[in-house]
Amino acid sequence: MSQSLMRFDEVLARLSGEHDGPGEEPDPMVADGAEPVYRNVDEWVRDVFVLLLGDLKIRTEVGRGDGLNWCPRWWGHPLALDRMESLWRAWEVLRLDPGTGMSVWYRDHFAPALADLTGDDGPFRRCDKNRHSDAIPAAPAVPAPDAVLSRFADKAPPA
């Protein structure tokens, strides 16, 4: 059996509850007290996200050819880390919906995030499957004046 098929079987086993992982407290992000399949976003990315990328063409050289931009050190890009965390949390909740849950996840979460992360303007644009390029420095931001913040009751500066 190939490596990718063995990994796919492992993922299916986890989804069906056949995985004997260490017990943890129920995660409040999952409805009805169901335990999350994955303990953290990194585990989910390595088991699910990269499996989904497996059928897509990944660029082998920065800025050349077609395909998606990908970075094996995805966690080194703040936007990617935040988006992957969001994808994982939504996946854990929507996988429990026996009707359209996963369809909603693909349409509303996976497809837009994939386009944002791997596109020509995404955080992986200077990386390829063999090379990581540090995240681009954050854009500057000037603190908002109190007059602006006072328009928002929950954001008003302390009196």
Label residue 133 by pLDDT band (50, 70, 90): confident
pTM confidence score: 0.67
The SS3 of residue 58 is: strand
Task: Count how many residues are written for the chain.
Answer: 159
d(CA 55, CA 45): 15
Closest of 24, 123, 21 to residue 80, by C-alpha: 123
Please say if the pLDDT value at position 88 is more than 80: yes
Distance between CA 96 and CA 98 in Å, rounded? Answer: 6
12 confidence band (pLDDT: 50, 70, 90): low
Written as one letter, the residue type at 98 is: P
Total H helices, total E strands in the chain: 7, 0
The two tokens of residue 142 are 């000037």
**Please, which residues have CB within 8 angstroms of residue 81's CB and are 6 or more apart in sequence?**
41, 74, 75
CB-CB contact of 31 with 94 (8 Å): no
